[in-house]
């Protein structure tokens, strides 16, 4: 079953790449947006799939916006926040991202997370 899921993610990653999707790129909404910086320490990254995986966070958590995502071989970093929730904390983001990582098989080996 995991193999099938990974194949599905690969197809969607290609679609996302072809369409140039990037969640929150140049967010220009009227609401205040104070993003927090997230860094995941990772290994064995499948770059195209990892880009799709990070963008998928905003599909699962519609109130979140991601911008400035960088996918590297040892680190994935991005800014994340909620234009509709100005009181969201680093602890809130950490909890949601841990939940996301547990519920969705990542296309990399996850090691550690920093949110600030």
What is the arithmetic mean of pLDDT over 18-37?
60
What per-residue confidence (pLDDT) applies to 114?
98
- Where do the structural domains in the chain lie, given as residue ranges? 2-115
Rounded to the nearest 5°, which phi and psi values hold at 41?
-85, 125
Query: 20 pLDDT exceeds 70?
Result: no
Placement of tokens 């994935």 in the chain: 76
109: CB partners within 8 A, 6+ apart: 42, 43, 44
Query: What CATH topology corresponds to 2-115?
Result: Alpha-Beta Plaits (3.30.70)
Predicted confidence band of residue 32 (pLDDT cuts 50, 70, 90): low
Predicted confidence band of residue 98 (pLDDT cuts 50, 70, 90): very high
CA atoms of 18 and 34, how far apart (whole Å): 29
CA atoms of 2 and 31, how far apart (whole Å): 39
Query: Residue 16's CB: how many other CB atoms inside 10 A?
Result: 20
Q: What is the CA radius of gyration of the chain?
A: 14
């Amino acid at each position: 079953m995991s193999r099938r899921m990974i194949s599905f993610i690969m197809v969607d990653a290609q679609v996302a790449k072809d369409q140039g999707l990037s969640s929150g790129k140049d967010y220009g909404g009227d609401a205040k947006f104070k993003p927090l910086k997230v860094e995941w320490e990772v290994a064995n990254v499948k770059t195209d799939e990892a880009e799709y995986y990070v963008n998928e966070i905003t599909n699962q958590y519609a109130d979140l916006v991601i911008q400035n995502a960088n996918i590297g071989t040892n680190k994935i970093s991005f800014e994340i926040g909620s234009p509709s929730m100005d009181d969201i904390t680093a602890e809130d983001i950490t909890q949601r991202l841990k939940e996301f990582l547990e519920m969705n098989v990542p296309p990399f080996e996850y090691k550690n997370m920093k949110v600030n």
